Structure 1
Amino acid sequence: MNRSRGIFLVITGAIFWGVGGTAAKKLFEYGIDVNWLVTTRLLIAGLLLLTIQYFKKDRSQIFGVWKTGKTAVHLVIFGLLGMLAVQYTYMASIEHGNAAVATLLQYLAPVMIILYLLLRKQTILTQRDLLTVSLALIGCFFLLTNGSISQLSVPAPAIIWGILSGIALAFYTLNAVPLLKHYDSLVIVGWAMIIGGCALSFIHPPWQMNFNSLTLEAYFYLAFVIIFGTMIAFWFYIESLQSLSPKESSLLGSIEPLAAVLTTVFWLKEPFGYFQWLGTLCIIGMILFMALNKKTSSSSSQHPEKKEPLKVG
């Protein structure tokens, strides 16, 4: 039951994340600065999550997380190198390209996690890993080249930011688990967003914005990005780590590209080549393989309270 709940949470969060990315692309068309958008969405979503924690769960955890120096330092690192890094690199990739490519590149994270665990000698390379890595790499190749090695089908800055986003998501996934052993996901995600938002406020304060220039439609997109594409998406993703291993959450969360691709192509009318569709199918195939394979990557998946985040596979 815990495993099924974890799969539901990570897939739902990933869909919201994907659609939220496409909505963010619409906001950039209104001239909204990427720094302002990341700052605003992190601060508002973080405050909303802590508010939910205050009324629904153990409110003492909200400030209790800061009482231990080691935990406080870990939370700050997670907020800056995990939450803020994921948010900024992802949005920058969307700004230079589109939500579909940015999202698909971000989901190189499972490959990075597997390689990291192999280098740390904390897992062995299984046939299952080989298949997932192969599907991810083949999918990304077709996505970026559209079948032509001589010419990339997306701008280079979008690719660079997208790859950096994958690295950030891998760190985010692995780094979150130790904090969840002692504190609710609402507390960890909420504070991480506020930390990231406060840090970026020094570059672009959230109040420096011509709000009169935004239309009602733009405010709707902004609300969706903050509530569904940020708050709920990150909360569900982190919550899934309570019953799934980091590698499983990262792989199952790859359904985000499907949502991003479909909304980018059919809503924003972005061109998408035949080989790019083939690459997308490869990544979706990786998702289905992971979802249908009921065998957990470690016994810790059934006992989340005892699991160690890096000892998976």
Structure 2
Amino acid sequence: MAIGSAVFWGISGTCAQYLFEQKGLDPGWLVCWRMLLAGLILVLFSMSEKNSDTFRIWKKPLDVVKLLLFSILGMVAVQFTYFYSISLSNAATATVLQYIGPLLVVGFYAIKHRRWPILAEYASLALALVGTFLLVTHGSFDTLVISEAALFWGFLSALALAFYTIQPVGLLRTYSPSTITGWGMLLGGIAFSPFTAPWEMQGIWDLEAGLAFAYIILFGSVLAFYFFLKSVTIIGATTASLLCSVEPLAAAGVAVVWLGIYFGPMDWLGTFFILLTIVLLTLSTKGKDSQSELSVKESS
């Protein structure tokens, strides 16, 4: 489920780049509609589940506050920063930059559990820094191959991904992934609407645009977010975020083949270094007793 969600997300990012560059859609407008439609679908799905807990969350004020934080600082933030970064660069670069996020997740738990990072985690940090340097400069200390704005929003996307991964763990102990994801998206879309005017149609709409938009809603949103949060309940936030490291490969591969973007040797080398950090972190956490503390087991 974690790997599947990553592939769906990666292809979704390339679809978004296509809509931005060739169909003239605005990132904020697309994010808003993505959350409204996907959120509504997931809420309806949650209502149809056996022992549905769709509306039970509204009976606990503290859980409502947590849900609102997840919706605004997690769901809205992770989607807008990522899509906006794509609009400033491309799907492959934006996705790779976002995947510094898992390193932040591991760092958070290291601080929370008051333990020093191990050697593999220090090595991962070094590799992430080198990989990011190669990706955004191609090895030159004098120039950036992407804009400063794209780099800034890419790092914000990584921070938002870390928050999105960690914050809902407590809610997922009590409520189903479809309930949390559905309400998170729907509330985020409603809150974001005044800033994006979703009622005003944008861009060029034809069959290709409709198919790309439909993919983003169904596969890149409904299934991807549901699969990811479901995987968090089974294997924990850290492992789920690490397994999602295949997303940059999916985004880069599809963007190169479909949209013809140039992804040169330095780009692939930087991507390799960043993905290698995920491998090291996975190996370092596998089999640890502390991993059981991070995992959220299904109540059933």
Instruction: Give the TM-score category using the shorter length.
Output: over 0.9
Deviation string, structure 1 residues 272-301 (Cα, Å, up to 9, x no partner): 221111111122333444566742462426
User: Cα distance 1:301–1:232, how it changes in 2: closer, same or farther (>3 A)?
Assistant: farther
Question: Residue 17 of structure 2 aligns with which residue?
Answer: 25
**Which moved further from structure 2: 154-163 or 180-189?**
154-163
Question: Residue 53 of structure 1 aligns with which residue?
Answer: 46
Question: Residue 77 of structure 1 aligns with which residue?
Answer: 69
Aligned pairs (5 A) from 1:20-169? 20-29=12-21, 30-59=23-52, 61-120=53-112, 122-169=114-161
AA partner of residue 265 (structure 1): V
Distance 1:271 1:252 in 2: 26
1:272 maps to 2:263: yes
User: Cα distance 1:69–1:12, how it changes in 2: closer, same or farther (>3 A)?
Assistant: same
Distance 2:50 2:134 in 1: 45
Distance 1:242 1:120 in 2: 19
Question: Residue 215 of structure 2 aligns with which residue?
Answer: 224
**Which moved further from structure 2: 265-274 or 156-165?**
265-274
User: Cα distance 1:203–1:282, how it changes in 2: closer, same or farther (>3 A)?
Assistant: same
Distance 1:40 1:58 in 2: 29
Gaps of 5+ in 1: 1-8, 308-313
Deviation string, structure 1 residues 34-93 (Cα, Å, up to 9, x no partner): 11100000011111112222223332x111111100000110011000000001100100
Distance 1:210 1:92 in 2: 16
Question: Residue 186 of structure 2 aligns with which residue?
Answer: 194
**Which moved further from structure 2: 178-187 or 261-270?**
261-270
Gaps of 5+ in 2: none
Aligned pairs (5 A) from 1:177-216? 177-210=169-202, 213-216=204-207
Deviation at 1:176, TM superposition (A): 1.1
User: Cα distance 1:289–1:111, how it changes in 2: closer, same or farther (>3 A)?
Assistant: closer
AA partner of residue 95 (structure 1): S
User: Cα distance 1:67–1:18, how it changes in 2: closer, same or farther (>3 A)?
Assistant: same
**Which moved further from structure 2: 116-125 or 143-152?**
116-125
Contact 1:245-1:297 within 8 A present in 2 as well: no
Contact 1:14-1:254 within 8 A present in 2 as well: yes
**Which moved further from structure 2: 33-42 or 45-54?**
45-54
Deviation at 1:131, TM superposition (A): 3.1
Aligned length: 297
Deviation string, structure 1 residues 217-244 (Cα, Å, up to 9, x no partner): 1000000011111111111111111122
Distance 2:58 2:138 in 1: 48
1:245 maps to 2:258: no
Determine which of 6, 9, 15 is the counterpart of 1:14.
6
Question: Residue 170 of structure 1 aligns with which residue?
Answer: 162
AA partner of residue 244 (structure 2): G
TM-score norm. by structure 2 comes to 0.92
Determine which of 231, 253, 261 is the counterpart of 1:262.
253
Distance 1:209 1:194 in 2: 19
AA partner of residue 98 (structure 2): Q
AA partner of residue 228 (structure 1): F
Identity %: 40
AA partner of residue 54 (structure 1): M
Distance 2:141 2:269 in 1: 15
SS in 2 for 1:77: helix
**Which moved further from structure 2: 195-204 or 296-305?**
296-305
Distance 2:291 2:241 in 1: 18
Deviation string, structure 1 residues 154-176 (Cα, Å, up to 9, x no partner): 11111111100111111111101
Deviation string, structure 1 residues 5-52 (Cα, Å, up to 9, x no partner): xxxx11110111011000001111211111110000001111111222
User: Cα distance 1:229–1:297, how it changes in 2: closer, same or farther (>3 A)?
Assistant: farther
